[in-house]
Amino acid sequence: MSFFKKLKESIASKTEAVTNVFKEGLAKTRTAFVEKVEELILRRKKIDEEFYEELEEILIGADVGVMTVMELIDDLRAEVKKRKIEDAADLQPILSEKLVALLKGDNEAELKMASSGTTVILFVGVNGVGKTTTIGKLAHKFKSEGKSVLLAAGDTFRAGAIEQLEVWGSRVGVEVVKQQAGSDPAAVMFDAVQAAKQRGVDVLLCDTAGRLQNKSNLMDELNKIFRVIRREMPDAPHEVLMVLDATTGQNALSQAKLFGEKSGVTGLVLTKLDGTAKGGIVIAIRNELDLPVKLVGLGEKMEDLQQFDSEQFVHALFAGLIAEEDAEQVGETAGRLD
């Protein structure tokens, strides 16, 4: 059975709606990445040094990441030598399989939820990456699943941050725990945790600052918030999600490395994936960091925040090739019937 046939069958049980969201969200990356690879294979025909160099350029251009690209090219060279492949067309399914392998290992993609009581999810990340929007969309997702949700306005430093979260709270229909602008974020978290416990709320989503107006260290502030939450709820926070803007490419990877080392991040959220042709950053992050991508933003609508799924991701990326594979198989079957 071919690679593409296996891939299609493995996601056959997934809903068509989710598949379409991934396809639409990755349209720019598909055009910039997969179509360029196809064009290279058709044009070059033979696998030689120039072929590898061009493939390397395409992969780096899609923000797959230099380290990851080098590993991938080395793997492809070894595979070509081992299988004695000469025709470039025969390399296409091998490249696809290698990319799937790089994205695998996301068994932790599901959000960790409390076995009982309130699940606390803390959001970190620099300003402008879509943190507040992600919190609003996730609140909508949980509420649509029948869960009770509470929001904590812990970004007390950025002008308008509290009001922005309140707008989302109003839109989704959930309450926001807040204090005055400039208040101690840890005090906001204390109030929010107390309110969540008293009301028996299912999920508490906590916003935090991406930059401070004073000279105190951001990581110290985040650690203080973490300690306050843990003191009131020993098992919390259940997730510390770092939100990254996929359109910033390698900058997002650098941010993840910095935050991940110092703030106890358990997973990543990649926003604005639909707005970039460099969706390869998902592969770079998955390969270079020991952190699972948990959620991806694939559009403006509330429903466009999706749990990351490596099979859906690859299926959406190689959708055109899968359709071609099916057409070839239909042709082969027709030929046998003749």
Residues making up the binding site for GTP: 125-132, 207-211, 271-274
Structure tokens that stand for 214 in this block: 């004073």
Place of tokens 């033979």: 46
Contact 113, 238 (CB under 8 A): yes
Q: How far is CA 225 from CA 34, 258, 330, in A?
A: 43, 18, 59
Report the alpha-carbon distance of residue 135 to residue 137 in Å, rounded.
6
Report the alpha-carbon distance of residue 220 to residue 9 in Å, rounded.
48
The angle formed by the CA atoms of residues 137, 139 and 142, to the nearest 5 degrees, is 110
> In terms of DSSP H, where are the helices of the chain?
3-10, 16-25, 27-29, 35-44, 49-61, 66-83, 92-103, 131-144, 161-172, 185-199, 218-232, 250-262, 281-288, 310-317, 319-337
Report the alpha-carbon distance of residue 208 to residue 62 in Å, rounded.
31
Annotated binding residues: 125-132, 207-211, 271-274
What is 268-285 written as a DSSP string?
Answer: EEEE-GGG-S-TTHHHHH
Report the alpha-carbon distance of residue 185 to residue 157 in Å, rounded.
9
Contact 259, 124 (CB under 8 A): yes
Structure tokens that stand for 199 in this block: 């009301």
